Amino acid sequence: MELIDTHVHLEDVENLGDAIKRAAEVGVIAVIAVGSDYDSNLWVMYEVRKYDVGKLRIYPALGLHPWNLDAARIETTIEFIKNNIEKVVALGEVGLDYWYKNVRKDENEKELQRKAFRRILDIARENDKPVSIHNRGAWMDCVNMTIEANVKKAVFHWFTGPDDALKKLLEHGYYISATPAAAYSKEHRRAILNTPLENIILETDSPVVYSGEASEPAHVVKALKSVAELKGESISVVAEKTTENAKRIFKIN
Ligand SMILES: [Zn+2]
């Protein structure tokens, strides 16, 4: 069995070397390390490769997370992303989060998020890169902006949004990714049920804590099991299909 963890904040994973070894032991062959801001992008760009072990390869993605929009550093972050675009498999984590802290009631903050997101979407289109998207409370805005930017490949990571936004993103050939929350989150389970296996990939969003336990890339197996259960498919079929999808999206061989 070969698995790909398509969205991980590796710089925050404790005892990373050991965690990566455990991932390799359960069949993880690739991990996509996403960046969130200037510092994590630097780390992803220069540090991740040191952790490759056995057959497992770590691939960098550079992002600008809606929680990390330090206005003073947006330009330097975008400059860094542009300068390193050839070396990354995706842009992410980026997106919109209207439920974040004070953003909910602040139109200026929402507009700042949209501006940053639009810049990244343009870079993705110009360089034919897939995008790993955070979307919370901005469901249709986020989907519409991705479509309007004419981005060809997009993954709406850990999708928990309403059916209309899901339907629209699927009509445009985009993807969602399933996390270990697929074991218990009603919204996430519904999204997975309503998405064909052809449009699903797996991830952990490590080190996010699920049911009291900090995650690591080896836990992508939990996402796999939940998707198999929800879809009524065997674990091996879901593993094969989702890994094939991820390889195609991120151009990983
Ligand atoms: Zn994330």
* Tokens linked to 172: 């445009």
Burial string for 165-189 (b: 16+ CB within 10 Å, else e) reads: bbebbbeeebbbbbbbbbbebeebb
Q: Give the DSSP letter of residue 13.
A: -
Q: Is the pLDDT of residue 101 over 90?
A: no
User: What is the phi/psi pair of residue 215, to 5°?
Assistant: -90, 160
pLDDT band, residue 105 (cuts 50/70/90): confident
Query: What spacing in Å lies between the alpha carbon of 188 and ligand 1's midpoint?
Result: 15
Query: What spacing in Å lies between the alpha carbon of 96 and ligand 1's midpoint?
Result: 12
Instruction: Reduce the secondary structure of 174-240 to three states and give it as a string.
Output: CEEEECHHHHCCHHHHHHHHCCCHHHEEECCCCCCEECCEECCHHHHHHHHHHHHHHHCCCHHHHHH
Round to whole Å and give the CA distance between 95 and 120. 9
Distances (CA, A) of 217 to 49, 198, 241: 15, 22, 18
* pLDDT digits 0-9 by tens, 46-97: 999 899 999 999 999 999 999 988 888 899 999 999 999 999 999 999 999 9
Structure confidence at residue 13 (pLDDT): 96
Query: What spacing in Å lies between the alpha carbon of 174 and ligand 1's midpoint?
Result: 18
**What are the structural domains, with CATH classification, of the chain?**
3-250 (3.20.20.140)
Query: What spacing in Å lies between the alpha carbon of 134 and ligand 1's midpoint?
Result: 7
Query: What spacing in Å lies between the alpha carbon of 8 and ligand 1's midpoint?
Result: 6
Query: What spacing in Å lies between the alpha carbon of 92 and ligand 1's midpoint?
Result: 8
Round to whole Å and give the CA distance between 223 and 26. 13
pLDDT band, residue 222 (cuts 50/70/90): very high
Query: What spacing in Å lies between the alpha carbon of 66 and ligand 1's midpoint?
Result: 11
Query: What spacing in Å lies between the alpha carbon of 99 and ligand 1's midpoint?
Result: 15
Query: What spacing in Å lies between the alpha carbon of 23 and ligand 1's midpoint?
Result: 18
* Residues contacting 149, CB < 8 A, separation 6+: 118, 121, 122, 124, 125
Query: What spacing in Å lies between the alpha carbon of 159 and ligand 1's midpoint?
Result: 11
User: Stretch 20-42: mean pLDDT, rounded?
Assistant: 97
Amino acid 97 reads D
Q: Is the pLDDT of residue 228 over 90?
A: yes
Amino acid 162 reads P
Question: Using alpha carbons only, how large is the chain's radius of gyration in Å?
Answer: 17
Strands 131-136 and 90-97: parallel
Q: Which chain residues have CB less than 5 Å from ligand 1, an ion?
A: 93, 205
Query: What spacing in Å lies between the alpha carbon of 9 and ligand 1's midpoint?
Result: 6
Sheet holding 131-136, edge to edge: 3-8, 28-34, 57-62, 90-97, 131-136, 154-157, 175-178, 200-202
Query: What spacing in Å lies between the alpha carbon of 178 and ligand 1's midpoint?
Result: 12
Q: What's the pTM value of the predicted model, to 2 decimals?
A: 0.97
Query: What spacing in Å lies between the alpha carbon of 65 and ligand 1's midpoint?
Result: 8
